[in-house]
Amino acid sequence: MIRIVIRYAAVLAAMAVAGGQEPAPQARDLVAIRAGKILTAAEKGLEVIDGGVILVRGGKIEKIGPEAEVPIPAGATVVDATDRWAMPGFIDLHCHVGGSMRDINDMVHPTNPELSTRPTIEPDNENLRMAVAGGVTTVNYIPGSGTNLSGFGTLMHTAGGSTIDSLIVRFPGSMKVAQAWNPERHGGDLGASRMGMWWSLRKLLDRARDYNDAWTAFEKGLNKIRPEKHEDLELMRGLFQRKYPVLIHTADPRDVMGTVRMFHDEYGVPCIVSHGEFGGYKVAAEIAKRDLPANIGPRMFDFRFPLDEGKVLGIAAKYFEAGVKHLSLNTDSPVVPQEDLFFQGTLAVRLGLDPRTAIRALTIEPAKAILIDNRLGSLEVGKDADVILTTGDPLDPRNYVSWVMIAGKVVYDTAKERRRY
Amino acid sequence: MHFILYILYLVLVLGQDPAPGPVAIKNVRILTVSGAEIASGTILLKDGKIEALGADATIPAGTKVIDGAGKVVMPGLVHPYTRIGGSPSGSGNAPNHLAIEELAPSLDGYRPAIRAGFTTLALYPSGGPLSGQAVAFKPRGVARDQMSILSPAYLRIDVDANTQSKEQLRQALDGAKRWKDRRGGGDAKPDDRTAPLVQFLKGELRGLVEIQTPAEYLHFRQVLKPFEDPALKFAIVGGFDLWRGAEALGSRKEIVLLRPDLSYAPDTMIRTNPVAEMIAAGCTVGFIPGDGYALLQSHLFRVSLLVKAGMDRALALRAMTLVPAEAAGVGKRVGSLEKGKDADLLLLDGDPFCGTARIVMVIIDGRVEFEVTP
């Protein structure tokens, strides 16, 4: 009996001690990341902070700044990364690694606005695991380019959840259109050449615009007759409401120009010019004039023809020089492995782009292009805490990503698990 | 008679480029590959050779001096398995064929290779299973004999896992073995289809064997078994799937030349690292870039990704230079920076594995063949 009492007392004492050490309520759930250097990718305030602190609470960035200006509240969990660089997680707008590659090309019709990648997501698949190790925290997982309009992509996190829904940042991420350079090979009976492709896309966009107008009028009470429901056009309404963009797989000057004319000039929907290879940079000034985003890759170089001693052109630099301010880079993974998104930046720099623009092209610019920069793409107060730590300049392959936080949750830490990449 | 002398004069004098004067690069970080790295030193080139290198090598008067501060010098890259300049059609089963007959001096197609840092290449004869003998060459010069540095460089073998291919190879080796084992017999010589195989079996001529799959490797080893000899030397050019047989290759310490790529396991998106698998199994790995412009241009980048994925830096440097040079039989002349070796080197504006470094100068035989205009 006495023994029991003693034990009980010991337990009580232990509880009292633990209680005494418990952090103050306001510091609970607070994570403080002390980093040697922070690349914020922010458009307001400091872009580079030497010796900074990021305070994270409830999955959001509460405070960020130089160490002297951001005191760490007592009781906060401190991530000591003074020998690391911190930056926003990278974002890839054009990739196919959310699930299994076999699920991304359902060629039902020449245009398939009723399809989406959402049900095909496989959380925690091997490629997403590698993506995290490459610092990629958000991907726009889009269908392939087998048809003119292959469906809707899903903007998703690469880790931090075990279900499809828990990974989704926004659905739809974007609509996916392929303007030539693939769908013309197998578009069924319609859209086998550029004439057919252009026709069937316009036909569909016309219908979708009318559909959106009719429903918008009905919802505002301007029209009392309830319009007929068309499931295949439902998601396309979001384009005309500017909730999400259409991402267009396109290349070469003719098709890039066709893309710009159709989606921006004629239909006025938000659009992203993706790939842009095979000389597409020659009409980059037209993209710049309209202030449209370009999403370059997976090849970072074009060869100058006729063969001029094998000189190579950096495409990203060419777009930038032509005045395209909104530049992002893609891997089209698995064409280039998802974890090598950083290396697309490296190559772009190697071929003439300045490093600051390259970092922005992996972070804030893709976020802006896909209309999610209110949440992602930079380290700023109020944004989601998608933070990566690297051993140095992220564009240098001799460095690596050592720690990844997605929405305030640590999803990768090389101090605790084997380095994946 | 005067005419003949004139022709001789043309060939001997005009045909030769004027010898470049001595050149020194100083204050430069030197990656020697064969020895220790020199953090800051001088490399002196004279008469197309490396005259001296070291932290405090003296520069004689009259030497053109390049300041290499902040830059890096490394040996020129070696491409041991190219068809650049070769004709598109194969020559079938013809071990007697010499690739030197196909060399194309002054070919524009070599320029991209030079810009990408390749200073020695080996042209292999296409066809199979015994397609002929390769030539190791420098991508400069106006006559094939100026270009060639070793011919034959290696006997090229392309094994397929089928009866016909194996039987052709077996018969050829059988014929050669009879010559090899022959004692006495006067002046009789093997015919020119058999002679290279006799040399191969004696270890006088290296082999380079293209093997795509683990099955092809096992079939090749099976065919080779009765002819094995410690002197026999060959390297393997491996296909993307060969790593699955890494254990078998590693147990024999094979020298394997691979594309410097991480790839996907067949029918999956699971990334594999064939180079790491081969090294872990005990093989010596060298790199082959492939012939496309993009492949040549991206060779250094691709290797830097392997370094990121865990490959030892020193091994990665060797795999681009000395290993392929040895596989092409010219390891004594090129592939590392050593006194007396050919003055083939690259000047980079940063570490070769930093991803953004550019090759700013390519020197072949002491002569600047490419220079980035400032």
pLDDT digits (tens, 9 = 90+) for B158-170: 988 899 999 999 9
Total-model pTM: 0.86
- What is d(CA B155, CA A299) in angstroms, rounded to the nearest whole number? 36
Shortest Cα–Cα distance, A207 to chain B (Å): 38
| CATH number 3.10.129.10 is the correct assignment for the domain at B1-75+336-374 | no
Tens digits of residue pLDDT in B62-86: 999 999 999 999 999 999 999 998 8
Task: Tell me the chain A residues in contact with residue B289 when contact means C-beta distances shorter than 8 Å.
Answer: none
Q: Is B26 helix (H, G, I), strand (E, B) or coil?
A: strand
Same domain membership, residue A277 and residue A232: yes
The H or E element spanning position B178 is helix B163-181
Question: Is A97 part of the contact surface with chain B (CB cutoff 8 Å)?
Answer: yes
Question: Is A354 part of the contact surface with chain B (CB cutoff 8 Å)?
Answer: no
Task: Print burial letters for A328-364: b (CB count within 10 Å at least 16), e (below 16).
Answer: bbbbbbbebbbbbbbbbbbbbbbbbbebebbbbbbbb
Given an 8 Å threshold on Cβ–Cβ distance, is B293 in contact with A303? yes
Chain A residue with Cα closest to B370: A309
**Is pLDDT above 50 for A20?**
no
Task: Tell me the chain B residues in contact with residue A97 when contact means C-beta distances shorter than 8 Å.
Answer: 269
Task: Tell me the chain A residues in contact with residue B264 when contact means C-beta distances shorter than 8 Å.
Answer: 334
Same domain membership, residue A382 and residue A365: no
**Is pLDDT above 70 for A9?**
no
Mean pLDDT of A362-368: 98
Average pLDDT for chain B: 91
pLDDT at A49: 98
Same domain membership, residue A288 and residue A144: yes
Tens digits of residue pLDDT in A298-329: 999 886 654 555 567 899 999 999 999 999 99
Tens digits of residue pLDDT in A152-185: 999 999 999 999 999 999 999 999 999 877 777 5
Same domain membership, residue A35 and residue A10: yes
Mean pLDDT of A203-221: 96
Same domain membership, residue A187 and residue A124: yes
Shortest Cα–Cα distance, A217 to chain B (Å): 46
Q: How confident is the model at residue B282 (pLDDT cuts 50, 70, 90)?
A: very high
Same domain membership, residue A298 and residue A316: yes
Mean pLDDT of B328-340: 97
Q: What is the CATH number of the domain that holds A39?
A: 2.30.40.10
* CA A164, A166, A167, A171 torsion-angle sign: positive
- What is d(CA B44, CA A395) in angstroms, rounded to the nearest whole number? 34
User: B77-334 maps to which CATH number?
Assistant: 3.20.20.140
Tens digits of residue pLDDT in A383-399: 999 999 999 999 999 99
Average pLDDT for chain A: 90
Give me the amino acid identity at A109: H
pLDDT at B14: 47
pLDDT at A105: 79
Tell the burial category of A184 from Cβ atoms under 10 Å away from its Cβ (0-12, 13-18, 19+): middle
In which residue are the tokens 């929405």 written? A407
Q: How confident is the model at residue B4 (pLDDT cuts 50, 70, 90)?
A: low
Same domain membership, residue A74 and residue A200: no
A309, A334, A397 ranked by CB distance to B308: nearest: A397
What is the domain count for chain A? 2
Residues 246-275 of B with CB under 8 A from A: 262, 264, 269-271
**CB-based contact B365:B344 (threshold 8 Å):** yes
Question: Is B106 part of the contact surface with chain A (CB cutoff 8 Å)?
Answer: no
Question: Is A310 part of the contact surface with chain B (CB cutoff 8 Å)?
Answer: yes
Task: Tell me the chain A residues in contact with residue B270 when contact means C-beta distances shorter than 8 Å.
Answer: 126-127
The residues that bridge with B15 in the sheet, in sequence order, are none
**CB-based contact A387:A86 (threshold 8 Å):** yes
Closest by alpha carbon to B197, among B255, B161, B149, B152? Answer: B152
Question: Where do the structural domains in chain B lie, given as residue ranges?
Answer: 1-75+336-374, 77-334
- Rounded to the nearest 10 degrees, the angle between the axes of helix B195-202 and helix B163-181 is 80
Domain with A381, as residue range(s), is 1-88+377-421
DSSP B349-361: SS-TTSSS--EEE
Chain A residue with Cα closest to B304: A397
Same domain membership, residue A372 and residue A401: no
Same domain membership, residue A381 and residue A352: no
Closest by alpha carbon to B81, among B124, B115, B116? Answer: B124
Question: Is A400 part of the contact surface with chain B (CB cutoff 8 Å)?
Answer: yes
Q: How confident is the model at residue A53 (pLDDT cuts 50, 70, 90)?
A: very high
Task: Tell me the chain A residues in contact with residue B108 when contact means C-beta distances shorter than 8 Å.
Answer: 307, 309
Same domain membership, residue A218 and residue A130: yes
Task: Tell me the chain A residues in contact with residue B356 when contact means C-beta distances shorter than 8 Å.
Answer: 346, 349-350, 395-396
Q: What is the CATH number of the domain that holds A333?
A: 3.20.20.140
**CB-based contact B313:B348 (threshold 8 Å):** no
Given an 8 Å threshold on Cβ–Cβ distance, is A310 in contact with B353? no
**CB-based contact A172:A125 (threshold 8 Å):** no
In which residue are the tokens 């990449």 written? A421
Question: Is B304 part of the contact surface with chain A (CB cutoff 8 Å)?
Answer: yes
Q: How confident is the model at residue B370 (pLDDT cuts 50, 70, 90)?
A: very high
Question: Is A304 part of the contact surface with chain B (CB cutoff 8 Å)?
Answer: no
How many beta-carbon pairs under 8 angstroms link A with B? Answer: 76
Q: What are phi and psi of B206, to 5 degrees?
A: -70, 160
Residues 323-362 of B with CB under 8 A from A: 351, 353-358
**Is pLDDT above 70 for B10?**
no
The Cβ-side half-sphere exposure at B78, using a 13 Å CA radius, reads 32
Q: How confident is the model at residue A98 (pLDDT cuts 50, 70, 90)?
A: confident
Task: Tell me the chain A residues in contact with residue B309 when contact means C-beta distances shorter than 8 Å.
Answer: 421
- What is d(CA B258, CA A275) in angstroms, rounded to the nearest whole number? 29
Question: Is A211 part of the contact surface with chain B (CB cutoff 8 Å)?
Answer: no
Given an 8 Å threshold on Cβ–Cβ distance, is A312 in contact with B297? yes
pLDDT at B3: 55
Same domain membership, residue A98 and residue A82: no
Closest by alpha carbon to B342, among B367, B369, B366? Answer: B366
Q: Is A411 helix (H, G, I), strand (E, B) or coil?
A: strand
Given an 8 Å threshold on Cβ–Cβ distance, is A309 in contact with B108? yes
Same domain membership, residue A350 and residue A219: yes
**CB-based contact A205:A248 (threshold 8 Å):** no
> In the sheet that B77-82 helps form, which strands lie side by side, from edge to edge?
B77-82, B118-123, B135-137, B148-150
- What is d(CA A179, CA A217) in angstroms, rounded to the nearest whole number? 31
Closest by alpha carbon to A324, among A298, A355, A353, A300? Answer: A353
